[in-house]
Amino acid sequence: MSGMDTPALLEKARHQMKVGRYDDAIAVYDKVLEIESTNTEALENKGKCYYYLGRHEAALACYDKALAIDNTLITCWFEKGYTLRKIRRYEEAITSFDAALKIDPDYAFAIANKAYCLNELGRYEEAVALFDKILIASPMNIRAMTGKGIALREMGKNEEALIFFNKAIDLNSINAFVWYNKAIALRNLGRTHEADECMRIVNFPRGSLSAVTNHVGREH
């Protein structure tokens, strides 16, 4: 890599990332940082590499270094929040997502991931408000529908939750995660046979065609 300038090194590292050679990419980003210690692109992408390798604390350290240089890096705030969410540090994740949303209040990925964190923390009404915001902008967003369904179910609104699980299933009839959450709502309502049918779809997503076709638990 001798004689390569920073743009060339960054391009080389991006290619290594693209093909999943994260350790090699980190080595190249380190070379960039030897030349230019404040290169935030290298720091942020090095953090992503560490994330993909499951080295979450190392990823967070890179994001923090980048943000100390430039605290307006919206994607870096998001990546930091996403990493924190994945290691279940939900309150800290929300703080990072809020920092991203302060820069762009309509940043959909930050809104969605903040909502998922709120669900995990049992702050369901706040989560529903964010899922609604996503669904206004993107009415066919399956993950937002499912997230809202989970929040409603946990608030004891199982019938309302089923509406959103059914909408999500209409868009993707073999999404096991949605069927699983729908099964819980049905069980909560005492509809155990329908819940069992949903769980068969969870376990054999392509093998329960009659249940999928008949849309288990749908109100007709």
Distance of CA 145 to the CA centre of its chain: 14
Give me the tens of pLDDT residue by residue for the chain, a chain 220 residues long.
445 799 999 999 999 999 999 999 999 999 999 999 999 999 999 999 999 999 999 999 999 999 999 999 999 999 999 999 999 999 999 999 999 999 999 999 999 999 999 999 999 999 999 999 999 999 999 999 999 999 999 999 999 999 999 999 999 998 999 999 999 999 999 999 999 999 999 988 665 554 455 455 565 4
The whole-model pTM stands at 0.87
C-beta of residue 80 within 8 angstroms of C-beta of residue 63: yes
Distances, alpha carbon 84 to alpha carbons 50, 79, 81, 96, in Å: 13, 9, 5, 9
Distance of CA 20 to the CA centre of its chain: 20
DSSP 204: S
Which long-range contacts link 87-95 to residues 24+ away (Cβ below 8 Å)?
Answer: 87/56, 88/120, 90/117, 90/120, 90/121, 91/117, 91/121, 93/117, 94/118
Structural domains in the chain plus CATH codes: 1-56 (1.25.40.10)
Per-residue model confidence (pLDDT) at position 204: 85
Where does residue 212 rank: exposed (0-12), middle (13-18), buried (19+ CB within 10 A)? middle
